[in-house]
Structure 1
């Protein structure tokens, strides 16, 4: 059996995880074969010979009958390569009487409206659910302020779906609850709008009748909180952090973001706690670090739909982060803190239903796997702590290994 063990990328990185290698190949061929943008040119079309008559065209676009659909299906090779649904031609031939209504209805609706029936029904069901929810709860959803993201589908199909939903299509980049949603790596250009807002906020206070203590409080409590939402998901470029802290320091000493003063206290000293002689201002990079570490912990241990989705998208089965996901804006920040959170996390045993008995760190600051010699525990054990508890008492198995029995004695 042939397989690819490792793959070297253009940037020099070497991938050995099969899931990551597969994703790189999928992305490569998608970009290679994707259709470019087109624009209608009537002058060019006018000089092309007309080979399809009006009668032929009517025949090509008419809605096929059930008999025509059956004939096309039975012309498929029985062992032909499966389509997106995973079923070869033999499946449809053998189960035709069962699948016939759905197949015929879906094909005919595609000729009429450009989408299959199941998809259109799903969109209509979603629209009805939103309406029913608003009537039952009194919390009506403002569709004019809502947005929907579409995948790589045709313009005609997208237009029909949007006409049912009555919601505007949204494209990157856009903003949600104050956070700029982007594709790819976060650059200085991406955060310029927030930097401009940050600077305008400082400029709007220029010349106001505030003491220097008032300027300090504005910087500490108001200005320092402006980038919080963005800091929670993105790792900010160092140049933007330096610029923002320079403006904050200038404002404290002069009341203006661009005006400097020759003799000042060092910024590091100003950022110390008040009981250590500082002003209690938080360093922006440290805030960014803390919030991203919190985000990494939420993804590692959370049970929300968002946490589950991101784990499926960015995390390998062994708990490590994927090294290549394109495009991912949040992956850069998670990479910087994933190992840190993993090494520092500890479990407090309760029911034990969510703690892996062999691999999680619940014995002090170590796991059973770490207490034993490397390689002594297989990598595919699935037991939880709750599997060894009976009426809140330990029910540990008898083992022949002295090292493992020593670990059990500690428990």
Structure 2
């Protein structure tokens, strides 16, 4: 065994008298301590064992569903509290257990470590081919958030409970911990300016402060405010919760999310060459080597693509891509970015830029114009932070992580301007075939040869058949929809770009359903939304 066992928690001993078990043969020597709970009905017995050279148990609290050992661990100043849990089967029984454990936790301070079979899951994905109870999951998550537990990663398979007879799989076993105190770095940084300000305030009561002391007091207050603001902001960034929805940073729900995210984002080990590695240096080197190979330029000379057979964008689209960048485009790019995105590495969020836009846009616009004129950007703006995001709930290899790059706001604004332009051109290219086919079917000579009823029927058939393939694949731009609607409207009333005619009924009335006293033609936008929703519904239910 690679690491010696110092504490062992066993559930479901299935012994009516747990004292009958030969504990010494399990442990291997006499230097052990033990706590037991006998099996009683559905609870099938619990057993805690520990190395007395490492852990000293000073107090034991037990019931049918848990054993809690409170004591000291060699080298750790705070009390250590081990809780071996076996959750009840009934929903009400689980709720009572969570309530009881919360009451015990509120009276016992220390480093809590909870482990065992909770007979509850945290989300639907932790059950397969077995019943999922939303209320049980909600109560269990509330319990974890309320006492600020961190759900630690476990090795092995995704599910911990298997029923081979009917292939039911569940993750019921967990290992969670909670520190007695979480003394952040920002709190330590606050102590010096706080003590300085308190000292100077005390001195000011008995004598007049010097000019230097007044300046020190002002700087001290400024430091306190800045650290408090950063502390609050940092909590919001770590939680990844929308601030307006979930409340302040003093709620247990908020801190529960921070603890959960910190633990989830921590890389405790990776499978390297079919072996589990926990050495941080080796893990870092493996991550670096893996992504360095992915991002390496493998082509010293890239092939040039040039052919008259390739489709080309229109002159208008080409002009759109190369036209001067306007202040309006810069504002649109800023407003299209989320407010609370992680501020790396320059420290500014888009919420800050939006709030002080009148000042900052005057500094941002010249940088964008410089890029537009010289086709390059200062290398400092291209500095980025590399971050790994989980692709799987139980990652084991480096392939279970997805890399993202946290870039400067300036770089993001420029890239957003370019992407929005390309998006417009792409939308025009995708919808060009629709315009061509509409134009060919709804030609001027056909409108003259058909009666009003014939034109109305043709409009409906064109709407129902021609664009359905294209409109089911992407959201059509508003400008394209307006163009198509205008073509149908002109065809119905025998009009054209050269000839204006009277439209005796408004187009809104034409597209309204017959039940609402319209002509029942329907709008292209409604068809677009319906077709896309149909695909979404199919994918959602597969």
Q: Same fold (TM over 0.5)?
A: no
**TM-score when normalising by structure 1:** 0.30
**TM-score when normalising by structure 2:** 0.23
